[in-house]
Amino acid sequence: MRDWEPDLNDEPLASTTTANKARQLNPPIILAIGFLLLILSGTVVLKLPIVANHPVTWMEALFTATSAVTVTGLLTIDISAYFNIYGQVIILFLIQAGGLGFMTFAVVGATMLGARLGMGQQRLAQEAFNEISLDNVTRIAKTVLLYSLVIEAFGIIWLVGIWSDEMSLAQALYQSTFYAISAFNNAGFALGPNSLVPYASDIGVNLVISALFIIGGIGFSVLIDLNHKRSWSKLQTNTRIILLATLYLNLIAFLLIWIIESQNPATLGAMSLKDQVLAAWFQATAPRTAGFNTIPMEQMKNTSIILILFLMFVGGGSLSTASGIKIGSCVVILMTTVAFLRKQEDITVLNRTIPIRQVMKAIAIVVCYVLLMFLGIFILDLTEEARFLDILFEVISALSTVGLSRGLTTHLSPAGQFVMILLMIAGRLGPLTLAYTLAKPNRSRVRYAEANIQVG
């Protein structure tokens, strides 16, 4: 297999020109095109009568395929009712490909065939793996795929052991495979209209599913570092930040949701103490882009919903199956604020200085996210007759590729569904494109005089 880099000695001039133009395309643009092609391919396949129990419209097929590829979980139809096992397997494939990224499979497949990655391919893979060194691209791609398959396999085995008591072994194996892949990829797809509400009191299901989406959400770079170092003092600063932030966010959210909802008879109030703990833990850990729920979201108190909005906004770790602004961006913004209030010249975290470029990148990501969020809210408020809180919830859920819903998605107009499709795609690809834009060198020899612009 030939590298993407053309050889001027044996390629025609026209072909060389075309190759040069293709090579000059931004890697994230090529990745976005790849995701769009995957979505369109999935849409066409899901529209086929052979995979459907009931006729599916083009919009329903497009929405489902987009939600699967972007590992969101928002749906306008019940996939267990509308799609047969073939359609559900197609959806599962789209979730896996979208969660791990098609570049992972492309790099692994190319190297297995003995191909050597050219610089163009390596740059593309570098962006897909979030600024990992070019020298490590192939190794990281293989490691990501291996880790994913091993973790999902453990999840499948545990879930089969739980569900084999209530259904046949074949059914338990299929359902376990579906939920393990959906959970690890933070997709939130369920084989039923009520997500995991029927399993709200099942300790095994709650712990296994939550473990899978937490592991998938902390990021592969963290998993790799943990496997190699296995000592807290030797871990990279990024790894320690992600682990500490994930622990604090989960524990604080768990306590708050338990306290707030324990007096709500529509959610935790009518449950036993054990079930309250399980449901509060699950609902505290799921919003950072998992999309599953064991209690009805539309029945939760507004205070809890505000907390969940914040958790969805933050999201998971970089190079993970989660989205949101990412934990790293949140920590950088927070420490920048602390440094300013303390009148410190350097921005530090865990006895390490944060480079100013990382601060600029984090701010840019947050600003772009907020602008997209307001744009989505503005348009949906024009197209839909719904409460503002419900619109806000669905927009952040789509933009952070979470998949939690307060019931609005199933009642959206075609225009509203299209807006949600764009938000899901933007949420999955936006930070990647932004990261590449910020990484492009754009130095100028011209220096302008400083301007004292009043802020605050």
CATH number for the domain that contains residue 429: 1.10.287
Domain membership flag for residue 63: yes
Q: pLDDT per residue over 274-330, tens digit each?
A: 999 999 999 999 998 788 999 999 999 999 999 999 999 999 887 777 788 899 999
Predicted local distance difference test score (pLDDT) of residue 136:
60
* Lowest mean pLDDT, pick from 101-110, 216-225, 244-253, 311-320: 101-110
Domain membership flag for residue 254: no
Last residue of a domain, which of 112, 130, 148? 130
- The CA distance from 241 to 193, in Å, is 36
Domain membership flag for residue 398: yes
Domain membership flag for residue 328: yes
Domain membership flag for residue 307: no
Instruction: Print the domain residue range for 405.
Output: 324-438
45-55 mean pLDDT:
94
Last residue of a domain, which of 86, 105, 130? 130
What are residue 332's phi and psi, to 5 degrees? -60, -45
What are residue 349's phi and psi, to 5 degrees? -150, 130
Tally of domains in the chain? 2
Q: pLDDT per residue over 129-167, tens digit each?
A: 554 454 566 677 777 788 888 999 999 999 999 999 889
Looking at the predicted structure, is the pLDDT value of residue 441 above 80? no
Q: What is the pTM of this model?
A: 0.85
Domain membership flag for residue 443: no
Domain membership flag for residue 26: yes
- Angle separating helix axes 119-128 and 102-112, nearest 10 degrees: 140
- The CA distance from 331 to 325, in Å, is 10
- Angle separating helix axes 356-383 and 327-341, nearest 10 degrees: 110
Last residue of a domain, which of 79, 98, 130? 130
Domain membership flag for residue 83: yes
